[in-house]
Structure 1
Amino acid sequence: MKIAVTYEEGKVFQHFGHTEKFKVYEAENGKVVSSEVVDTNGNGHGALADFLAEKAVKVLICGGIGQGARQALAQAGIELYPGVNGEADQAVHEFLNDNLSYDPDTVCSHHEHHGECAGGNCSH
């Protein structure tokens, strides 16, 4: 199974639509067997769902995320775990051990940034 995390300097990046990199993990039998950092090549927002689908990603861990991107991920069949903070590697480890702390209701509206997004910690 492939798991992607919005990624910046080792941490979960907090705005899905503006992420420039994902760290993509290959997991088997509950353990990470490989990982790589991939550049989004300038793709943003809705196009990122297609980008992840092309890489056969099944799970996305991220910080803030907008409604449109949520819908695009759902259409691509990618499970979403938003509202995650901290180290990317640790988040994947926690996900694989069924103890990831996330907020399924995290929504980020990129039109109304005032330091924080409703329900999340989007920093734009």
Structure 2
Amino acid sequence: MKVAIPVAEGKLAVHFGHVQEFALVHVKEGRIEKTESLTPPPHEPGVLPRWVESLGATVVIAGGMGHKAQQLFAEKGIRVLTGAPCETPELLVTQFLSNNLQTGINLCDH
């Protein structure tokens, strides 16, 4: 499994579509195997869902995300979790794997 997380200064970035870096966390047998730091393509509608899919990610953890982007991810079979706290990608994935990830209000809804 691969989990994509938008980051800024090493922690989850609130604004999904306008970040300069993504963490791609590789999970094998329920454990984090490695984390890659990747530069996304320039932001345009529909580009990030295609890019994340091309990376093989099946989960996105975000602070906030617009409804259209969520719909595009869903169409690709990619699970989106919004309202996650601004923590390190490794901590977020560890919490996700142990079913302890606290998600809440989609920060883009405010």
> What is the TM-score when the length of structure 1 is the normalising length?
0.81
Q: What number of residue pairs does the alignment pair up? A: 109
Q: Distance in 1 between matches of 2:2 and 2:82?
A: 16
Contact 1:15–1:63 at 8 Å: present in 2 too?
Answer: yes
Deviations 1:69-90 (A, max 9, x none): 1111111111011111222221
- Structure scoring higher RCO (CA < 8 A, sep ≥ 6) equals 2
Residue 13 of structure 2 aligns with which residue?
A: 13
Report the Cα offset of residue 47 of structure 1.
1.0
Which structure has greater helix proportion?
2
Distance 1:100 1:79, change over 3 A: same
Q: Residue 100 of structure 1 aligns to which amino acid in structure 2?
A: L
Distance 1:47 1:41, change over 3 A: closer
Contact 2:41–2:48 at 8 Å: present in 1 too?
Answer: no
Gaps spanning 5+ residues in structure 2: where? none
Q: Residue 56 of structure 2 aligns to which amino acid in structure 1?
A: A
Deviations 1:42-96 (A, max 9, x none): 1344210000000010000011110111111111111011111222221111011
Q: CA RMSD in A?
A: 1.4
SS of residue matched to 1:57: coil
Residue 52 of structure 2 aligns with which residue?
A: 52
Q: Distance in 1 between matches of 2:50 and 2:41?
A: 13
Larger Rg: 1
% identical aligned pairs: 30
Deviations 1:91-115 (A, max 9, x none): 1110111110012x5162xxxxxxx
Runs of 4+ in structure 1 deviating by more than 2 angstroms, as ranges, are 43-46
Contact 1:19–1:44 at 8 Å: present in 2 too?
Answer: no
Q: Residue 77 of structure 1 aligns to which amino acid in structure 2?
A: G
